[in-house]
Amino acid sequence: MLQVGITGGIGSGKTVVCRLFATLGVPVYDADTRAKWVMRHDATLRAELIAAFGPEAYLPSGEQNRTYLAAKAFNDPAELARLNSLVHPRVGADFAQWAAAQRQAGHPYLLKEAALLYESGSYKQLDRIITVYAPQELRQRRVLHRDPHRTPDDVLSIIGKQLSEEEKLQRADFVLYNDDQQPLLPQVLSLHEHLQMLAAVPAAAR
């Protein structure tokens, strides 16, 4: 089974793209959502996060204290690397288990959606990578419309911590343009057909 990563900067619309693929019957793993689930339900990871960041890492409800963790890690590269070194391997194990189930179900290919696909190193376990592209100004407008609590500086700060769009484009096997200029659906349908054909080719010949 072909394992395909899909990424893009904040506001690029990768979640919209994944919904289109899902309507075509493609299984989609949302790494960011699953990371939140794993952080709450994986007892070993919970213990490691509490040991690393203190009991404030979790709320009384059992949910991770995202505001606290963001304050601790987001603006401190060393602390962010520490957080990622704990979370990413557990999410990787969760993905591997999920992917095995999709393979057993007979799907020709799957998608792994992750904003930090390259930064986390998880791209190394995937066969192909899709980048969803949109110009930065458009991405900023989308995020500010979607998340009115954010400021323009917040968005720029997030963009600054993600891999540049130029590098994502250079490293991608496929690019989907969600720039409000080119229709998105025909691009997705064409790529879906291509990936189905590619999945039918023996791995050694791809």
* Residue 113 pLDDT grade (very low, low, confident, very high; cuts 50, 70, 90): very high
Determine, yes or no, domain membership for 141.
yes
Annotated binding-site residues read: 11-16
Cα separation of 130 and 194, whole Å?
12
pTM higher than 0.85, yes or no?
A: yes
69-80: pLDDT as tens digits: 988 887 788 998
C-alpha angle with apex 84: 120 to 153, nearest 5 degrees?
A: 85
Residues in the chain: 206
Annotated binding-site residues for ATP read: 11-16
The domain total for the chain is: 2
26-44: pLDDT as tens digits: 999 999 999 999 999 999 9
Determine, yes or no, domain membership for 159.
yes
Domain housing 50: 36-91
Q: DSSP class of residue 111? A: E
In Å, the largest CA–CA distance within the chain is 52
Q: Does 22 lie in the same domain as 111?
A: yes
The CATH number of residue 10's host domain is 3.40.50.300
C-alpha 25 chain-centroid distance: 19
